[in-house]
Amino acid sequence: MYLRNALRAATAMTLVATAAAHADTLTIATVNNGDMIRMQGYTDKFTEATGIDVEWVTLEENVLRQRVTTDITTKGGTFDIMTIGMYETPIWGANGWLVPLDGLSEEYDVGDILPAMAGGLSHDGTLFAAPFYGESSMIMYRADLMEKAGMEMPEAPSWQFIKEAAAAMTDRDAEINGICLRGKAGWGEGGAFITAMSNSFGARWFDEEWKPQFDQPEWADTLNFYVEMMNESGPAGYATNGFNENLSLFQQGKCGMWIDATVAASFVTNPDDSTVADHVGFALAPDTGLGKRSNWLWAWALAIPAGTQQEDAAKQFIEWATSKDYIELVAESEGWANVPPGARTSLYENPEYQKVPFAKMTLDSILSADPNSPTVKPVPYVGIQFAAIPEFAGIATQVSQEFSAVYAGQQTVEEALAKAQAFTAEEMEAAGY
Amino acid sequence: MATQHSRSVARLMMAPAVVLLLGWMLVPLTMTLYFSFKKYLPLRGGDLGWVGFDNYVRFVSSSSFWPAVQATLVIVGGVLVITVILGILLAMLLDQPMWGQGVVRILVIAPFFVMPTVSALVWKNMFMDPVNGLLAHLWRFFGAEPISWLSEASMTSIVMIVSWQWLPFATLILLTAIQSLDSEQLEASEMDGAPVLKRFYHIILPHLGRAITIVILIQTIFLLSIFAEIFVTTGGAFGTRTLTYMIFQRVLESQNVGLGSAGGVYAIILANIVAIFLMRIVGKNLDA
Amino acid sequence: MARTVTTQRKTLNTALAWAVGLLIFFPILWTILTSFKTEAQAIASPPIFLNFDWTLENYAIVQERSDYMRFLWNSVIIAGGSTVLGVIVAIPAAWAMAFVPSKRTKDILLWMLSTKMLPAVGVLYPIYLLFIQLGLLDSRGGLVVVLMLINLPIIVWMLYTYFREIPGEILEAARMDGATLKEEILYILTPMAIPGIASTVLLNFILAWNEAFWTLNLTAVDAAPLTAFIASYSSPEGLFFAKLSAASTMAIAPILILGWFSQKQLVRGLTFGAVK
């Protein structure tokens, strides 16, 4: 212990300048999403008001996960605030690695956070991360193309309808694909989509005994339906398309429908980036009549790693960044369509925000997602497009790689499911289930 | 000849480098070995006790193990073959008299200065993207259906990207070697009217032997551990999961440090097999 | 080198070489061009080559989002520091191997190279824990040491091959004149080896500059170099080709320029003693 401190002191001495700056500087790790980058532009206001400096470490999602996970499990103490999601929060909270977000100020109004979000970011009723923005998933479609195809989108369509509409809207000569969906490998990419979709087909990852369920017919139904529809009406190379690839396809007018995160609504309706901004309609994610829809629930949230020297300053920052005032700040200078959505009830009660075309559908989608009962059959896990257990990310990434190989035509659905079943069983056994 | 005195001085001079590298090898190696016999799951509370050879058995018996070894060897082998062959051709071309040789040489070595992450990003997004990529445009221009490079031809794509990065290196070493070739010797054979191919096989290729060995040795060392190119492009999907990448998945994605460490030990073994194999060839060639 | 060739053949060579050269350089050229387009032009179909409205907007956005100079400075310090340190450690070792070779010299050399084969990911946790213990996380000093160790084998080997090319007679003569070992190294060997040392320095600077695993995983703010800078642009939402191109251009430009200006030295350096 003495040696360790001595070495620390020595390093500190050699880095006096940086060490001194550290005393009232927060280091925040975050993801390079639009809303986060916008927040960085406003940090000056926070610094002005509190005198606390903020240093940003902005990373791409996969790199960010890898960085913050390494740091929190080794108690590296590199960051004062980490941007994490609904998957990590309950697991880390249960391990005691996060500072509980209690004793927040009166005006912050913690009760205003959407219950679905607060629930997903808590463990045993204690909030461990504050949602910066939240999302579900929904259908975004081209009203003009739908009309041209002579069809009408219901508020809550079925998968069968979507498949037919996709085929009708597809026009290969005009480079229009009826439907664009994620196929990219990775648990947070195509893995999240197919898992949420499988819920509506009655599939589940594990049964109550934690036995993997890929050998059940529901999974084969899901994948067969997906592959058939995508081969018929999807874009070329959909096996490598993730959120971003589809977004750019949709913005260029190359998709008839796109089922993805509700936050995408503000991008596809923004005339600066989107060529189809005026023609976008919204609908609930499809189902098959079994009682569960295929929409997920997710939040990017700010959490404080236990052991930080700057707990108070970090709490102050989180209160600022996820407050009602911050939302108003953004609304004032960039318009209501650009505020971080999906975190607070009051936002959806605001008449100004209700005028935003996707506001209602976003809220409806969020409200129709229930992480505590995600599937038709009972499951032992929490989470819709994931199972909140530490092993899931690793397993689901490999499983989704097998699925992507199906999408690319490199193996059959049966082969992929057999491999997924074997691999998952192997990993779960290794983890001691 | 060296005296006893100069020998001990020499040993002293080598000491810092040797000690440092020994430390750099032993500390991580010992820690890797230590972890590889443990059930170490950071997300489940860290060290969960000794498990003997469990991790080793599990790592090899995983269905992804042999495909990963194969993928590793295919990438290393593919890149070596491409860079050496193209490198020789390019070096011979650059050795010819021409206008603006300096500028051409600059153009050819430029990819070597590009960070692997950047080159992977650029290739993936701006060239291999099946919709907006330049190659897709090129394919459509000729009336062909664009290829989804990273899924349909994943291995080829990665070998292509990595070869592009390492071709300059191979070319430069081979070029220097060709330039040192006695031009009189060449001219004489030219006068004799020896056909081009014959000249190549009997004069140029033997002369390049040593340079080729160096290219293979150095590149293998770097290629065995390529990571960024896979991480950025396919994320290990579509059969591109190399041993290095598999270890990454075990350690960081599955958060199973024990299992990943066992994988690390296997990777070291594989590297050493390749190394011994190489040293056999290189060793001979390195004797001046 | 005075091979006589016809003008026709020379023209043909030139055309072919330029075509190949431009083909190889094209991805970089395309990245640079794209960085001056708007996002819409960057994905225009058919692609636009030169006739677009050149804009600096992407650079402005990138600069506004991240403090480029800080990343650049860290890259310079880390790559430079590790190279200098490496050369200082390597010169004596390489000298000893070249001029007082023993039976084990070659083994030691090959063993050194083999340390480079340890897969970095496998030891991330051990090294990370070690860095925490030593308080080296996110410090340039820690990275300088790590990168120095990673590249040390290459440095030793390159220097060794240069030193070996220095004729032994000169050393003999100097010894006759009563030069001490120190003088021998300082006044005779080093000046003769300067070109070799220069190319070693260059190559290792490039290798260290491009190292993207440790530099990304062991840094956060204070020591983050350009590899971390790039990691924040790799796949944001929306159209990003132009911004990615601008960030990429900014990340590779310094090393590209350095490489071009010093390519003569570098070419020499890359021989690894292969020509002999």
Read off the pLDDT of residues C221-241 as tens digits, 9 standing for 90 and up. Answer: 899 999 999 888 876 666 678
> Would the CB atoms of A91 and B43 count as touching at under 8 Å?
yes
* pLDDT (0 to 100) of residue A145: 95
pLDDT digits (tens, 9 = 90+) for B130-156: 888 899 999 988 988 888 888 889 999
Topology given in CATH for the domain delimited by A2-135+297-354: D-Maltodextrin-Binding Protein; domain 2 (3.40.190)
* pLDDT (0 to 100) of residue B230: 92
pLDDT of B184 over the 50 cut: yes
pLDDT of B191 over the 70 cut: no
Within 8 A of B228 by CB-CB distance, chain C residues are 212-213
Cβ atoms C137, A12 nearer than 8 A: no
Work out how many domains chain C is built from and give that number: 2
pLDDT digits (tens, 9 = 90+) for B214-266: 888 889 888 988 888 999 888 888 989 999 999 998 888 888 889 999 998 99
Find which of C10, C12, C22, C116 to mutate to test the B interface (most B CBs within 10 Å of its CB). Answer: C116
* pLDDT (0 to 100) of residue A1: 42
Q: Are C202 and C115 part of one and the same domain?
A: yes
Q: Is the peptide bond before C46 cis (omega within 30 degrees of 0)?
A: yes
Q: Are C31 and C97 part of one and the same domain?
A: no
* Low-confidence residues in chain A, pLDDT < 70: 1-23
Query: Which part of chain A is CATH 3.40.190.10?
Result: 2-135+297-354, 136-296+382-430
Which one-letter amino acid corresponds to residue B136? A
User: 3-state DSSP call for residue A324?
Assistant: helix
Give the pLDDT band of residue B73 (cuts 50, 70, 90): very high
CA atoms A230, A231, A232, A235: torsion sign:
positive
Q: Which residue has the tokens 């091979």?
A: C3
* pLDDT (0 to 100) of residue A21: 42
Q: Are C25 and C97 part of one and the same domain?
A: no
Q: What is the 3-state secondary structure (H, E, C) of B251-267?
A: HHHCCCHHHHHHHHHHH
- Residue B47 in any domain: the answer is no
| Mean pLDDT calculated for residue range B61-67 | 88
* pLDDT (0 to 100) of residue A64: 92
Work out how many domains chain B is built from and give that number: 1
Flag whether residue C268 sits within 8 Å of chain B, measured between CB atoms. yes
> Would the CB atoms of A401 and B150 count as touching at under 8 Å?
no
Neighbours of chain C (3+ CB pairs under 8 A): A, B
Q: What is the pTM of this model?
A: 0.89
> Would the CB atoms of A394 and B152 count as touching at under 8 Å?
no
- Residue C158 in any domain: the answer is yes
| Mean pLDDT calculated for residue range C41-46 | 81
Question: Can you tell me the distance from the alpha carbon of A237 to that of B133, in angstroms, rounded to the nearest whole number?
Answer: 12
Output the CATH code of domain A136-296+382-430.
Answer: 3.40.190.10
Listed in sequence order, the DSSP H helices in C43-139 are 57-65, 68-99, 105-114, 124-133
- Encode burial over A153-175: b for 16+ CB neighbours within 10 A, e otherwise: beeebebebbbbbbebbbeeeee
Flag whether residue B130 sits within 8 Å of chain A, measured between CB atoms. yes
Q: Are C70 and C52 part of one and the same domain?
A: no
Give the pLDDT band of residue C2 (cuts 50, 70, 90): very low
> Would the CB atoms of C136 and A29 count as touching at under 8 Å?
no
pLDDT of B282 over the 70 cut: no
> Would the CB atoms of A248 and C221 count as touching at under 8 Å?
no
Give the pLDDT band of residue C26 (cuts 50, 70, 90): very high
Find which of A398, A410, A415 to mutate to test the B interface (most B CBs within 10 Å of its CB). Answer: A398
What is the span of the domain harbouring residue C12?
Answer: 7-56
Of A330 and B11, the structure prediction assigns the larger pLDDT to A330
- Residue B62 in any domain: the answer is no
Distance of CA A98 to the CA centre of its chain: 20
Q: How near does any CA of chain B get to the CA of A84, in Å? A: 15
- Residue B56 in any domain: the answer is no
Give the pLDDT band of residue B8 (cuts 50, 70, 90): confident
Q: Are C91 and C228 part of one and the same domain?
A: yes
Neighbour count for residue A310 (Cβ, 10 Å): 19
What is the span of the domain harbouring residue B120?
Answer: 74-259
* pLDDT (0 to 100) of residue B255: 87
Give the pLDDT band of residue B2 (cuts 50, 70, 90): low
Neighbour count for residue A192 (Cβ, 10 Å): 25
Q: Which residues 45-74 on chain B approach chain C with CB closer than 8 angstroms? A: none
* pLDDT (0 to 100) of residue C180: 78
Q: Are C113 and C150 part of one and the same domain?
A: yes
Q: Are C142 and C95 part of one and the same domain?
A: yes
Encoding tokens for residue B181?
Answer: 């070739």
Listed in sequence order, the DSSP H helices in chain C are 7-34, 39-42, 57-65, 68-99, 105-114, 124-133, 140-165, 168-176, 181-183, 190-210, 214-217, 226-231, 241-261, 263-269
ipTM: 0.88
* pLDDT (0 to 100) of residue C20: 95
Within 8 A of A23 by CB-CB distance, chain C residues are none
Question: Can you tell me the distance from the alpha carbon of A37 to that of B143, in angstroms, rounded to the nearest whole number?
Answer: 41
Within 8 A of B17 by CB-CB distance, chain C residues are 89-90, 92-93, 112, 152, 156
* pLDDT (0 to 100) of residue C3: 52
Give the pLDDT band of residue B287 (cuts 50, 70, 90): low
HSE (side-chain half, CA atoms, 13 Å) at B140 = 17
* pLDDT (0 to 100) of residue C166: 78
- Residue B247 in any domain: the answer is yes
* pLDDT (0 to 100) of residue B189: 67
* pLDDT (0 to 100) of residue A15: 45
Q: Could you tell me the CATH number of the domain that includes residue C219?
A: 1.10.3720.10
pLDDT digits (tens, 9 = 90+) for C159-193: 888 888 777 777 777 777 877 777 777 777 777 77
Question: Can you tell me the distance from the alpha carbon of A243 to that of A64, in angstroms, rounded to the nearest whole number?
Answer: 17
Encoding tokens for residue A363?
Answer: 């809220």
> Would the CB atoms of B108 and C25 count as touching at under 8 Å?
yes
Q: Are C37 and C84 part of one and the same domain?
A: no
pLDDT digits (tens, 9 = 90+) for C90-129: 988 988 888 888 888 878 887 888 788 777 887 888 889 8
Q: Could you tell me the CATH number of the domain that includes residue B81?
A: 1.10.3720.10
